Structures are given as structure tokens and as C-alpha cells.
């Protein structure tokens, strides 16, 4: 199972705890994790990647094993520790705003 850490607003929207465990089929990539997350929690569609462009929303970043993978190819395998659920895949909102 892949562990995904969600920011407050998305937890609230999906009615879940800070971390969710997902069964991600095949190679564990950013795209595969987001696909699995949206399939399990349809209310999150459009909140992480833009409906029109499919791009990551600009105020969000993705982290894996303390590395910023926001700009890595979405089809690149994530670290093995994330794929095995040892480390979480973290979706982080910009720390800004009023």
C-alpha cells in the first residue's frame, strides 16, 4: 500500500485522516498515485491537478523521501520506500495566505 499525506483542505473535502493508504497497481509513479487517489476519493478530482490542463496546481508540491518530486516526470517511478509504504508520498500546499 502507498501512503499519501494530504493537506488540511483535501482531508476535509475527502473526510479522511491526514494520511490515506492506497492500493496503486503497476509501477508507482506520481501519475499512478494521483489516479488511485482520485479513483478512491472522486471529490478530489480537479483539486490537485487542473481539469483543463491536467497540470499540478501551482500552489501544490509533491514530496517523496524528503525530495521535491514536483518537477519530476509524472511517469517516473517513485522511490522504492514510497512504493513499499515505508515513506509517505506527501502533497503539500503552499505555506502562504491569510
Partner 1 sequence: MSGVRLLVGTRKGAFILESDGTRRDWTVSAPLFGGWQVYHLKGSPVDPNRLYASQSSDWFGQTIPRSSDGGKTWETVGNKFLYDGIPGTHQWYDGTPHPWEFKRVWHLEPSLTDPDTVYAGVEDAALFKTTDGGATWAELSALRGHSTGSQWAPGAGGLCLHTILIDPRRHDRLYVAISAAGAFRSDDGGATWKPITKGLYSKFLPVPTAEVGHCVHRIAMHPSRPQTLFMQKHWDVMRSDDSGESWQKISGDLPTDFGFAIDVHAHEPETVFVVPIKSDSEHYPLDGKLQVFRSRSGGNEWEPLTKGLPQADCYVNVLREAMDVDSLDPCGIYFGTTGGQVYGSADGGDTWTAIVRDLPPVVSVEVQSI
Catalog residues that contact partner 1 under the rule CB under 8 A.
7-10, 12-13, 43, 45-48, 50-52, 57, 59-60, 93-94, 97-98
**Beta carbon of residue 11, minimum distance to partner 1 (angstroms, whole number):** 11
The Cα–Cα gap between 60 and 23 comes to 23
Cβ-contact 89, 6 below 8 angstroms: no
The dihedral of CA 26, 30, 32, 38: what is its sign? positive
**Beta carbon of residue 36, minimum distance to partner 1 (angstroms, whole number):** 18
Which of 3/57 has CB closer to partner 1? 57
Amino acid at each position: 500500500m502507498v501512503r499519501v499525506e494530504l493537506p488540511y483542505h483535501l482531508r476535509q473535502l475527502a473526510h479522511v485522516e491526514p494520511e490515506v493508504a492506497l492500493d496503486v497497481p503497476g509501477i508507482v509513479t506520481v501519475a499512478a498515485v494521483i489516479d488511485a487517489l482520485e479513483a478512491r476519493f472522486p471529490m478530489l478530482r480537479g483539486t490537485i491537478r487542473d481539469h483543463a490542463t491536467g497540470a499540478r496546481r501551482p500552489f501544490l508540491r509533491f514530496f517523496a523521501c524528503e525530495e521535491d518530486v514536483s518537477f519530476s516526470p509524472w511517469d517516473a517511478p517513485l522511490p522504492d520506500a514510497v512504493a513499499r509504504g515505508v515513506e509517505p508520498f506527501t502533497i503539500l500546499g503552499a505555506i502562504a495566505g491569510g
